Structure formats: C-alpha cells, structure tokens
Structure 1
Amino acid sequence: MTKKIAIIGASGYTGAELIRLISTHGQIEIAALAANSKAGQSMAEVFPFLRHLDLPDLVTVDQIDFSQIDLAFCALPHKTSQKVINTLPKDLKIVDLSADFRLRDPAEYKKWYGNDHAAVEMQAEAVYGLTEFYRDEIAAARLVAGTGCNAATGQFTLRPLIAAGVIGLDDIILDMKCAVSGAGRSLKENLLHAELSEGYNAYAVGGTHRHQGEFDQEFSALAGREVKIQFTPHLVPANRGILSTGYVSGDAAEIHATLAEAYSGEPFVEVLPFGETPSTHHVRGSNFVHIGVTGDRIAGRAIIITALDNLCKGSSGQALQNANLMLGLEETTGLMGAPVFP
C-alpha cells in the first residue's frame, strides 16, 4: 500500500532533494508540499529541474489535511521547525531535518542555538536520526530528529572507534571541507559567486560550530565520560559534499579493522581497502558514505578520511532512510542510486 507524505519547507535544497529521491521510490506518494513564502507556485517554477514530475502545487502549512498523511518531513530552519511541529497532529509521524530536536537537553539547545526550546514536551519522544546507530529506536519512533550533516560525517568516522576503545579520546581532531549548499538557499553576501569562488575559508573556528553540540552529546554518551573534540569546518566553492580528515591516536591497522567490522553489514557505508582514501566525487548525489584509513609517519597516529553528500546522506537521504523504517518499508528503498560522476 502506497504511503502518503507531506514535505514542509519544500522550496529549500533539502526539500528539493527529498522530492528527487522520492520520485523513484515507488511506495511513497507526495500528497502535499508546503512553502509559505512560495505558496501558490508550482514546483516547476521554484525548481525547474523537477518539471517532469507530476507534483502538487505549493501551499501553506495550514492548508494541508494531515488526516490523509502518513508521515511529514519538516525541512524548515531551526526555531521555525519547533513552532510548526508543535501545531501538527500528535499522532502524525514526523522526520525533522532541522536542528530543533537533535539535542536531548533543552539547555544545550539554548547554548548552541541561542533561543529557548519551544517544544520541550516533545523533545523527550524525539529519537536521534543517525540511522546506522539508532535503527531500532527509529523504526518505533513518531518523531525523528535528523542529524547535522557535519555531525553525521564525524560520527561515521569516530563512533565505532570510541565504542571499541581503540583511539585516544583527548586528542581527536576533525578538519572538514564543506560544500556551500550546507548553508541553505537563503541569500547571503559571503556566498555570492564573486566572494566564494577561487578560494575557501575556515569558519566557526575554536569549537563554536553548532554541530559541536551533537559531537559532545553523542561521543560523551558512547565513552561514558566527557569527550570534546577539536573540529574546524571550511567552506569550499563546491555545490555538494563533505570531506572530513580525522587525526587520531591509535594503531592504524586496528582502526581500519574496527571500522570495516562495524560497517560490514551496512548497505550505505563503504570502508575502503587500507591506505585508500575517498573523494566527494565518489559519493556525489548518493546516500553512500566512503571511509578511508591510513597510517601516519608518526607512530601511533592514524588519519581517517570520510566523504558523503551533505544534501543526501547528510540530510534528505538520511531522512528518507529513517522514514522507510518508520513506515515499515525496506530501509534502502529509493536510495540505492549510484553516485553521479564526473
């Protein structure tokens, strides 16, 4: 039986990516698309690359009849998402792509996002949406909180290693190169072509990036003690992709073996042969993660390089993977498309 879904925030990059993926799904029907700022327009007007699809026109959220909807994706900015989700039917399954339910402690949410949590009573039922590590909880959940794209990349790199105790916990460094689509579709001066192209820059330097809150929460819970990593993201003039270079202490061969074993049954995570490293080109437009491990010239140090597509596996692909589980569908449905190369 076909499941009917709604996408709230369909005029942004993650909303469009959801539509692209669902268009070949076969078991999900897009019954409603909401984007308050573009209500009344067709998706062909907003995103001409979707012109070939028979899609409903954009409406405001209050125009959707949610009694006919099996699951809603909420692809709105943080703060806005909490307010909108708080008004939706309490029995509606929801996958939230924003940051609004990722942090379990409302005080941590205020610390990293600067405003009070507007749906504290709902936070308790939210399940963190990193599918490979919360699969059973997600399948039984009503509300799933998608991860940050940087947070997902770093966790694919480090979670199995922290859990297995094969790396030092006090000297972890993650250096990430992040494509511009991670900043969303809103107009920003520093993202103009003339100011972004032909160079790249670090941002949120010194541990101020909001996804650091997810690293603190998840890694500390895994280790059973406080874990704080060094993390610096860099904005690069590319449309899609994240490439993370992780620097850790530990035996490189053991680290590689630990990752290979942890992900051996995962359909979307590929651990490359020891010494090989991935490129964002190898995962572009797909729900796949590629991880490479190599030793360093300094004994007892290892380098782990991880690549994923920030819009797909880092956001909308992850959201669809979670929705499949929540709706009782095969987890990989709609997501096995090969990466786009070159």
Structure 2
Amino acid sequence: MDRVRIAVLGASGYTGADLVRLALAHPGVEIAALGASQKAGAKMADIWPHFAAHRDLPPLCRTGEIDFGRVDIVFGCLPHGAGAAVLAELAAPRVIDLSADFRLKSAETYADWYGVPHPAPERLEAAVYGLTEFARPHLADARLVACPGCYPTAALLALLPLAEARAIEPADIAIFALSGVSGAGRSLRESNLFVEVAEAAAPYSVGRHRHMPEIEQELARAFGEPVAVSFTPHLLPMNRGELETIAVRLAPGARVDDLRQLLARRYADEPFVHLLPEGTPPATRMVRGSNHCVLNVFPDRRPSHALVIAAIDNLVKGSSGQALQNMNVMLGLPETLGLEAAPLFP
C-alpha cells in the first residue's frame, strides 16, 4: 500500500493531537508535517506526554514552513476563522477541515453566528459536509471536506433517517446535550479550570450555541423545509464523551417502533453506527476513545412523542476519527482502516 502523506495543522490542540494518535495506528498514513504556530520548534512529545514513544514525529512548525507540494491530505485542526484563508488557498493537496469554517453554506449565517465575515465565502458551495455515513457519494471527488461538529454529528446520526422518512415532525425537536470538557478546546479559560468543572454540571451558550445552525441546515435538507431546533449543551466533569437525549414529536400515524426500524435499516451495514437492543440506554462509556456511535429510541410519557438518545466520543467520531474515516472514503481505502480499535473501558 502506498502511504498517504498528511499534514496536521493545529497539532497542539486536542483534535489535532487525537488525529495524530489515530494516524499513528493507520497503516496507510505517513505524517509528513505538523503545524502549530505558537509551539513551533517543539516536539509533540514535549507538549503531549502520551507521545513519549514517538519522538521521531516531525517537529511542530509554522504553516508557512510546510511544503504542501509534498502532502496528499491536509487536516485543518485550527480554531474557527484561523485557518480558513490558508486552507482555501491550497490548490494542490486535498483538505479536510475540522473547524466550523466550511460547514455552513451561507456566508451570512456564518457571520451572524461567528461574529466575523467569512474569510473564503467563494469556497462554501463546493465544500462537502463530511458526515461520512451520508456523504459517501460526494467524498471521492471532494477537494475540500468540512467535518461536522461533535454535537451535530450525534444529533444528525440520530435524526436524519427519521427526517428523511418524515416519521417525525420538523417543528418540535429538542436536544439536551452533555459533553466532556475537551469539547471546549485546550485554550486557558477560567470556566475550564478543574475547580470550576469538577463536581458540577452546567449549561452554556443557552439558547444560542454555534452548532445550532449546522444542525438546522442539515435537517432542513432532509425535511425539505426550514427547521428550528431547541438545543441546550451542558458541560460535565469528564475528559471526553458526548451524550444527547433528543425529544421528538411523531408524525401522524408513526409509532416509536417505526423509529427503531428506520434506524435499524439505515445503519444495518454501517461499521461505526449501532442501534442498541431495545431498552438499553446509550452511555458514553460504550464509545470512549472509539469512532463508534450508539443509538436507541424510547417512548416518551406523552403518547405522541419519543426520545432518541445517541452517544459518541466527541474527539473521535465527533472530530478526528470522522476526519480519518472521510479520508479513507476519499482515497478508496477500507473505511475502517486505522479506526478498528474497540472503546476504552473502564
């Protein structure tokens, strides 16, 4: 197998480091360059102790020092807005971006939710929204793939099959989401300190989280009409993991069993998305450290409603693992290559 040469921009952040971790286990990947401007010159092992056995990794460098002509795939793990202009100008390598910069199709919507004009609006239409299980037909020829956010990944895997079948109503979707602290990134901020997070649970970005328009955009495509969801994220005192409990209203004539059957059929042959046995609630411990998503459906006490629950690892299936899964599809490699590891337990 010819090895794919990759560059990881933003390797000093959580998603970049997890992408490197996964890439080291991928037999078809050679890590050619690691970008991190503030840590330029350092070794990965100097800032990430779990890479102590991999001191042969390329040193961290500034983006301008990377020879992109010798790279096949560039992974953008930079903060929102920081890498869009750089990535948009890369003509030779194919790009998989893990930030939010190319997920939304509307530059106006991006500016509204992120507070700045989009740095490369001309690239938005051509970017493929990389929810792998629904994007496969478009990935083979893609030059720019926008990986979904972690919250939208779990929400959309749970909801898209139901929306496409019109088994639920678009006007009554409420998402209650829980995330580990790594979902907030590695930057130093008071709210992420141990004493602020430990032994506590708290909502944040109440009523206006940046992943809301992304969820609504993709659900609107599935329903064929505009959608507005209620979405409330919460921070939990754990390193990684994400759990979403989604309340939906059944379409006329639909039953809870119909939702289970739709999910069972849609994901029957999927390597990473699994409908659990009836009555088994998803939990983050079922997917920790893996590229898997577990789902289930439960009746709500209101006869016309149901609860759809999904669990993923926010750094793997919700970010770096899905990025590698997309790369495998783009290059015609086995989709599970490098991602076969079972979840970590305990």
TM-score by structure 2 length?
0.96
Over the aligned positions, Cα root-mean-square deviation in angstroms equals 1.0
User: How many Å separate the matches in 2 of 1:182 and 1:142?
Assistant: 27
Are the counterparts in 2 of residues 131 and 321 from structure 1 also a CA contact under 8 Å?
yes
C-alpha displacement at 1:279, in angstroms? 0.6
User: How many Å separate the matches in 2 of 1:227 and 1:333?
Assistant: 36
* Other-structure match for 1:66: 68
Gaps of 5+ in 1: none
* Other-structure match for 2:211: 211
User: How many Å separate the matches in 2 of 1:302 and 1:121?
Assistant: 40
Does residue 286 of the first structure (1) align with residue 290 of the second (2)? Answer: yes
* Other-structure match for 2:257: 253
C-alpha displacement at 1:87, in angstroms? 3.8
* Other-structure match for 2:227: 227
User: How many Å separate the matches in 2 of 1:276 and 1:300?
Assistant: 21
User: How many Å separate the matches in 2 of 1:303 and 1:118?
Assistant: 39
The letter of the residue matching 2:176 is D
C-alpha displacement at 1:249, in angstroms? 1.9
* Other-structure match for 1:109: 110
User: How many Å separate the matches in 2 of 1:298 and 1:186?
Assistant: 42
C-alpha displacement at 1:125, in angstroms? 1.6
Superimposed CA distance per residue, residues 77-128 of structure 1 (whole angstroms, 9 cap, x where no aligned partner): 011121221343x121000000000001111111111111111122222100
C-alpha displacement at 1:17, in angstroms? 0.4
The letter of the residue matching 1:223 is F
User: How many Å separate the matches in 1 of 2:74 and 2:62?
Assistant: 14
C-alpha displacement at 1:7, in angstroms? 0.4
C-alpha displacement at 1:289, in angstroms? 0.1
* Other-structure match for 2:175: 174
Are the counterparts in 1 of residues 241 and 311 from structure 2 also a CA contact under 8 Å?
yes
The letter of the residue matching 1:94 is V
* Other-structure match for 1:237: 237
* Other-structure match for 1:22: 23
Summarize the alignment of residues 52-91 of structure 1 with structure 2, pairs less than 5 Å apart.
Answer: 52-53=53-54, 54-88=56-90, 90-91=91-92
User: How many Å separate the matches in 2 of 1:11 and 1:39?
Assistant: 10
Equivalenced residue count is 340
Gaps of 5+ in 2: none
Does residue 334 of the first structure (1) align with residue 321 of the second (2)? Answer: no
Does residue 151 of the first structure (1) align with residue 152 of the second (2)? Answer: yes
The letter of the residue matching 2:273 is V
Q: 1:271 aligns with which of 275, 280, 283?
A: 275
C-alpha displacement at 1:328, in angstroms? 2.3
User: How many Å separate the matches in 1 of 2:154 and 2:315?
Assistant: 12
The letter of the residue matching 1:240 is R
C-alpha displacement at 1:161, in angstroms? 0.4
User: How many Å separate the matches in 2 of 1:271 and 1:168?
Assistant: 21
Deviates more, 1:93-102 or 1:55-64: 55-64
Are the counterparts in 1 of residues 129 and 135 from structure 2 also a CA contact under 8 Å?
yes
The letter of the residue matching 2:231 is F
The letter of the residue matching 2:342 is A
Deviates more, 1:247-256 or 1:68-77: 247-256
* Other-structure match for 1:13: 14
Indicate the SS of the match to 1:151: helix
Flag as ranges the 4+ runs of structure 1 deviating above 3 A. none
User: How many Å separate the matches in 2 of 1:121 and 1:91?
Assistant: 17
C-alpha displacement at 1:167, in angstroms? 1.0
* Other-structure match for 1:316: 320
User: How many Å separate the matches in 1 of 2:125 and 2:256?
Assistant: 39
User: How many Å separate the matches in 1 of 2:268 and 2:139?
Assistant: 21
The letter of the residue matching 1:102 is R
User: How many Å separate the matches in 1 of 2:126 and 2:246?
Assistant: 32
C-alpha displacement at 1:229, in angstroms? 1.1
* Other-structure match for 1:51: 52
* Other-structure match for 2:38: 37
User: How many Å separate the matches in 1 of 2:245 and 2:302?
Assistant: 16
Are the counterparts in 2 of residues 91 and 142 from structure 1 also a CA contact under 8 Å?
no
Does residue 296 of the first structure (1) align with residue 300 of the second (2)? Answer: yes
C-alpha displacement at 1:44, in angstroms? 0.5
Deviates more, 1:103-112 or 1:293-302: 293-302
Are the counterparts in 1 of residues 68 and 92 from structure 2 also a CA contact under 8 Å?
no
C-alpha displacement at 1:172, in angstroms? 1.0
